[in-house]
Structure 1
Amino acid sequence: MSTPETRKQDVEHPSQDDRSRHGRDDHALSARPQDRTPVLMARQLEKTVGSGASAITILKGLDVEIHAGESVAIVGSSGAGKSTLLALLAGLDTLTHGELALFGESLSSLDEDGRARLRAGQVGFVFQNFQLLPTLTAQENVLLPLELSERRVDTEQARQWLARVGLEARVQHLPKQLSGGEQQRVAIARAFVTQPALVFADEPTGNLDRATGDRVADLLFTLNRESGTTLVLVTHDPQLAARCDRTLTLDEGRLHTHDGTTVPSHGPEGVDR
Structure 2
Amino acid sequence: MSSEASQGERQATTDNQAVADVPRGTVRQAVLHADKLSKKVTSGERSLTILHDLSLSVAAGESVAILGKSGAGKSTLLGLLAGLDTPSDGELTLFGHALSRLDEDGRAALRAGRVGFVFQNFQLLPTLSALENVMLPLELSPRAGETQTAAQWLERVGLGERVNHLPKQLSGGEQQRVAVARAFVTDPELVFADEPTGNLDPDTGGQVIDLLFQLNHEAGTTLILVTHDHALARRCDRCLRLDHGKLEAVLENIVPTAASIDEGAQ
Letter in 1 for 2:69: S
* Mapped partners of 1:52, 1:201: distance in 2: 32
CA drift of 1:85 comes to 0.1
Higher-Rg member (1/2) = 2
Whether contact under 8 Å (1:39, 1:102) holds in the other structure is yes
* Mapped partners of 1:81, 1:192: distance in 2: 26
Aligned twin of 2:202: 210
Secondary structure at 2:161 match in 1: helix
* Mapped partners of 2:193, 2:68: distance in 1: 15
Letter in 2 for 1:100: L
Shift in alpha-carbon separation, 1:98–1:52, aligned structure 2, 3 A: farther
Aligned twin of 1:186: 178
Secondary structure at 1:55 match in 2: strand
CA drift of 1:151 comes to 2.6
> Is residue 50 from structure 1 mapped to residue 42 from structure 2 by the alignment?
yes
Letter in 1 for 2:37: L
Aligned twin of 1:136: 128
Letter in 2 for 1:79: G
> Is residue 100 from structure 1 mapped to residue 92 from structure 2 by the alignment?
yes
Letter in 1 for 2:164: Q
> Is residue 223 from structure 1 mapped to residue 215 from structure 2 by the alignment?
yes
State the Cα deviation string for residues 9-44 of structure 1 (Å, max 9, x = none): xxxxxxxxxxxxxxxxxxxxxxxx9x9611010001
State the Cα deviation string for residues 224-251 of structure 1 (Å, max 9, x = none): 0000000000011111101000001000
> Is residue 82 from structure 1 mapped to residue 74 from structure 2 by the alignment?
yes
> Is residue 171 from structure 1 mapped to residue 163 from structure 2 by the alignment?
yes
Cα RMSD (Å) of the superposition? 1.5
Secondary structure at 2:247 match in 1: strand
Letter in 2 for 1:136: L
Letter in 2 for 1:247: C
> Is residue 115 from structure 1 mapped to residue 116 from structure 2 by the alignment?
no
* Mapped partners of 2:36, 2:232: distance in 1: 28
Aligned twin of 2:224: 232
Report which structure shows greater RCO (CA 8 Å, sep ≥6). Answer: 1
State the Cα deviation string for residues 74-96 of structure 1 (Å, max 9, x = none): 00111000000000000000000
CA drift of 1:214 comes to 0.4
Whether contact under 8 Å (1:143, 1:153) holds in the other structure is no
* Mapped partners of 2:73, 2:157: distance in 1: 31
> Is residue 146 from structure 1 mapped to residue 138 from structure 2 by the alignment?
yes
Whether contact under 8 Å (1:146, 1:152) holds in the other structure is no
> Which TM-score applies when normalising by structure 2?
0.83
CA drift of 1:150 comes to 2.5
CA drift of 1:66 comes to 0.3
* Mapped partners of 1:53, 1:60: distance in 2: 20
CA drift of 1:100 comes to 0.4
**Bigger shift: 44-53 or 174-183?**
44-53
